[in-house]
Structure 1
């Protein structure tokens, strides 16, 4: 059975890109090249919320992810949420993601609404939804990023 790890992070830095990099470091995935995919969880996959990723392989390799990310220039709040639900009997499942300049309660509400809409499109019997959120207040003039990632397995060589 494969594992998808849910990780999250938040950080502030002098530029938008450096705040994103620092948030990735907070989540433990700063040394990888991220490849975003849409939001389907393969059958026979274990999803585990871990917060910070363990060592997933050599630096510079590729990680497949579903990403919720918000970057703001303060003052303001950056919030990101990722919801997921798997079908019963180890079948496939869904991730839904959202983000914005809002609080964690708002992104959680919106991501659960999106997940419910996605579930209605499928003929699967789903288990209860789970949610991970990250939210951070940005000070005036600083760049701040909040993110939540679903990281599929281990890293792989780019070539």
Structure 2
């Protein structure tokens, strides 16, 4: 059985890219090249919310992810949320992501609504959904990023 790890982080820095890099560092995946995929969880896959990723391989390799990401120049608030539900019988599942300049409750409500809509499109029987939310206040003069990512397995060589 394969494992998808859900990780998250939020950070502030002088530039938007620096805040994103620092948020990835909080999640433990700052040293990888991220390749985004849409939202389907393969059958027979365990999804585990871990917060910070363990060592997933050498720096510079590729990680496959589903990413919720929001960045703002303060003042303000950024929130990112990832919701998922898997088939009750070890079949496939779905991730849905929402992020933006909104509060924790709004981003969670939005990601739950999106996941429910995605579930309605499929004839799978789903277990109860799970949600992870990361939210951070952005101070004036700083950029702040919040991320929640589903990381598929370990890293792979990029070249």
> Do these two structures clear the TM 0.5 threshold for a shared fold by scoring above it?
yes
**Match for residue 133 of structure 1?**
133
Equivalents in 2 of 1:104, 1:7: separation in Å?
17
**What's the CA shift for 1:88?**
1.0
Work out the number of aligned pairs and report it. 159
Equivalents in 2 of 1:64, 1:3: separation in Å?
12
- 3-state SS in 2 of match to 1:30: coil
**Match for residue 149 of structure 2?**
149
1:56-71 to 2 correspondences below 5 Å: 56-71=56-71
1:37-56 to 2 correspondences below 5 Å: 37-56=37-56
**Match for residue 81 of structure 1?**
81
**What's the CA shift for 1:106?**
0.6
- 3-state SS in 1 of match to 2:25: helix
**Match for residue 103 of structure 1?**
103
**What's the CA shift for 1:141?**
1.6
Q: Does residue 3 in structure 1 map to residue 31 in structure 2?
A: no
Equivalents in 2 of 1:104, 1:35: separation in Å?
26
**TM-score of the pair, normalised by structure 1:** 0.99
* 4+ residue segments displaced more than 2 Å: none
CA offsets 1:81-129 (integer angstroms, 9 cap, x no match): 0000001110000000000111111100000000000000000000000
**TM-score of the pair, normalised by structure 2:** 0.99
CA offsets 1:64-96 (integer angstroms, 9 cap, x no match): 000000000000001000000001110000000
Gaps of 5+ in 1: none
**Match for residue 120 of structure 2?**
120
Equivalents in 2 of 1:81, 1:140: separation in Å?
23
